[in-house]
Amino acid sequence: MSMILPTRIIDFHVHLFPDRMLDAIRKYFSSGYKWDVIYQMYAPECIRYLSERGVVKIVYSNYAHRAGVAEELNHWNREMLNLHPDIYCFAPFHPDDARCMEIAERALSHPRVLGFKLQLLVQRFYPHDERLFPLYDLVMECGKRILFHVGTGPVGNEFVGLEQFRKLLDRYPDLPANVAHMGAYEYQGFMDLLNEHPALYMDTSFSFFREFQGKGGFNLGSEVLEQHKGRILYGSDFPNLILPRESELETLLAYNLSHDCYDRIFYQNGAELIDHLTKAGR
């Protein structure tokens, strides 16, 4: 490594689920995608593992793959947040739940719920689906955010991609949102959105594996990262990784970015967002 990893890290993209749901996800990864997760850990061990490696705050998410799941997951999230003071959550939401907005409002009653996760690839609805408009209105009213899996990487379908996300932003240009995976694989188009929509952030998860460079990894170079250093959040995708976590860290450090850029990506941007979002919940 040509640079030294910052001693304080905020990981803004971690996956924590109840044990049986995590088992099901990993089984699907293995059978459906032929991806074998190398970190076979459940939630408490994940938190401990990252904390021992300089991660001082963890922002995790989970999602409702079908109707009827979000309420149970939100109950589990509340228990996790109450047990661990340095973790924060993007909560699940599904528009087909009978009381979906009531469930969402109750989730936001916990101050360390930062907003909601929409995993459009898995949930199979468009980001501009009108059933989601009440959720977007609620999030904006409460000063919270949406974490979107809306890119075409590592796999895509008709519900994801830059074109679909632009349709949402045409209606909600000021939507406070994080785009996972730097918008992979449409990196240029998603990074260009940062110039047009000041409430958007990108997170680094998945995009910087050394093994993916030249094969679907981030391909825009260091200048773009420096230009948008105030709008990029470090995220690891831990523990659902098929390659070592260190691979992305080494690739990011090999860019030889400025110290200020690394400080912002690995810590400061995340700290400022957390501070803003938790104050909004008071």
pLDDT, one tens digit per residue, over 3-14 is: 788 999 999 999
Q: Answer whether residue 258 is part of any domain.
A: yes
Task: Render pLDDT for 82-111 as a digit per residue (tens, 0 to 9).
Answer: 999 999 999 999 999 999 999 999 999 999
For residue 171, pLDDT beyond 50: yes
Quick check: 107 and 91 in contact, CB under 8 A? yes
Is the pLDDT reported for residue 194 higher than 90?
yes
Mean of per-residue pLDDT scores for the chain: 96
According to the model, what pLDDT value does residue 28 have? Answer: 87
What's the pLDDT at 34? 82
pLDDT band, very low/low/confident/very high, at 280 (cuts 50, 70, 90): confident
Across 113-260, where does the E strand assignment appear?
113-119, 145-149, 177-179, 200-203, 232-233
Q: Which residues fall within 8 angstroms of residue 185, CB to CB, at 6 or more apart?
A: 151, 152, 153, 156, 216
Would you state the pLDDT for residue 281? 59
Q: What is the DSSP letter of 128?
A: T
Q: Is residue 255 part of a domain?
A: yes
Q: What is the three-class DSSP state of 255?
A: coil
Is 4 within a domain? Answer: no
On whether residue 247 sits in a domain, the answer given is yes
Taking alpha carbons only, the member of 103, 163, 94, 169 closest to residue 124 is: 94
- Residue 193's domain spans which residues? 9-280
**Total domains in the fold of the chain:** 1
The pLDDT score that the predictor gives to residue 207 is: 97
**For residue 282, what pLDDT is reported?**
52
Q: What are the pLDDT digits (tens) for 117-129?
A: 999 999 999 999 9
First CA to last CA across the chain, in angstroms?
41
Tens-place pLDDT, residues 217-258: 999 999 999 999 999 999 999 999 999 999 999 999 999 999
Within a domain: 24: yes
Q: Which sign, positive or negative, has the C-alpha torsion 26, 178, 235, 255?
A: positive
pLDDT of residue 1: 42
Residue 2 lies in a domain: no
Q: CATH number, domain at 230? A: 3.20.20.140
pLDDT at 2 over 60: no
In a domain, 172, yes or no: yes
What pLDDT, in 10s, does the model give residues 24-53? 999 988 888 888 999 999 999 999 999 999
Structure confidence by residue, pLDDT tens digits, 148-167:
999 999 999 999 999 999 99
Encode pLDDT of 128-137 as tens digits.
999 999 999 9
* Residue 162 belongs to some domain of the structure: yes
According to DSSP, the β-strands at 113-119 and 55-61 are unpaired
Tokens read off for 157: 């379908």
